[in-house]
Amino acid sequence: MALSSVDLKIDSGDFLAIMGENGAGKTTLAKQLNGLLKPRLGRVTVDGHDTTKKSVAQLSRKVGIVFQNPDHLLFSETVREEVGFALKNFGFEPGVVVKQVERTLESLDLAHYADTSPFLLSGGERKRVALAAVLAWEPDYLILDEPTIGQDYQQKERLRNFILQLNSQGKAVVMVTHDVEFVAECNPKVVLMSKGQIVAQGRADEVLSDDGLIEKASLVKPQMAKLFSQLAGFGFPRDVVDVHRAKMLLAEKLSEVRVRVAQSS
């Protein structure tokens, strides 16, 4: 069974990372959320509506999924058409479509590609076009399947800011990912999956610094967690996963040491 006994609740404004090894059931779970897959046992509801009683088109208006491989999603001749396609199909006014497309392209740094064919872009850029095509209709719940694949560090930073901005507007963002370092920097709530089941849920810093859970989900600890688990003897907390917090803690301790050394000499 790809999924079994999964209990999960997502609220508006949530930021969730579904993590686990290849084949753990992450993408299968994501597809349940907009009705692409319907449960054979159990129930999935979106805003109180049972997904078995709604069409994918109806659910998509609320739940937008951006797939791992952008090529499965792209088909238009220009980036502008691609991003406007769903908006037109949802019946928005032409004026609204134009405005919304411009805004989305601008925010994802794609405006200069508006008249280019999506297929002439690099893998990372096509991924952003696929994201723009979904964001354009402003779904309440956004599901991102491996959003960081093929993105360089600066693009990841941009993506991170973008997600935080959506969150602050009350949108729920769920990302399916095995990019532990990206999750460590974002600190969302982590849902850890293994063999079709949820094995843990909790804050990223708690989950990603827990050896037992990391082992269970076949993940690898972020570098900061590895570092701090080995520095625990110096009185540091173990649940440090991001560089920012690591730097603050170390800077404090190193300054103390320096003062001590200066005083004793």
Least distance (Å) from other proteins to the CB of residue 201? Answer: 19
Least distance (Å) from other proteins to the CB of residue 259? Answer: 11
Least distance (Å) from other proteins to the CB of residue 77? Answer: 17
Residue in 149, 144, 138 with CA at minimum distance from that of residue 97: 138
Residue number, 92 or 236, with CB nearest to other proteins: 236
Least distance (Å) from other proteins to the CB of residue 53? Answer: 31
Cα–Cα distance for residue pair 77/43, rounded to 1 Å: 39
Give the footprint of other proteins on this chain (CB under 8 A).
Answer: 20-23, 68-69, 122-125, 146, 149-156, 178, 180-181, 184, 218-220, 222-224, 226-227, 230-231, 234, 243, 246-247, 250-251, 253-255, 257-258, 260-261
The label of the residue with tokens 């997600």 reads 163
Least distance (Å) from other proteins to the CB of residue 217? Answer: 9
Least distance (Å) from other proteins to the CB of residue 255? Answer: 7
Least distance (Å) from other proteins to the CB of residue 264? Answer: 9
Residue number, 57 or 232, with CB nearest to other proteins: 232
Residue number, 21 or 140, with CB nearest to other proteins: 21
Residue number, 3 or 184, with CB nearest to other proteins: 184
Residue number, 168 or 264, with CB nearest to other proteins: 264
Residue number, 20 or 118, with CB nearest to other proteins: 20
Residue number, 57 or 257, with CB nearest to other proteins: 257
Residue in 194, 13, 236 with CA at minimum distance from that of residue 207: 194
**What is each CA distance from 197 to 1, 8, 145, 216, 249, in whole angstroms?**
10, 11, 18, 11, 35
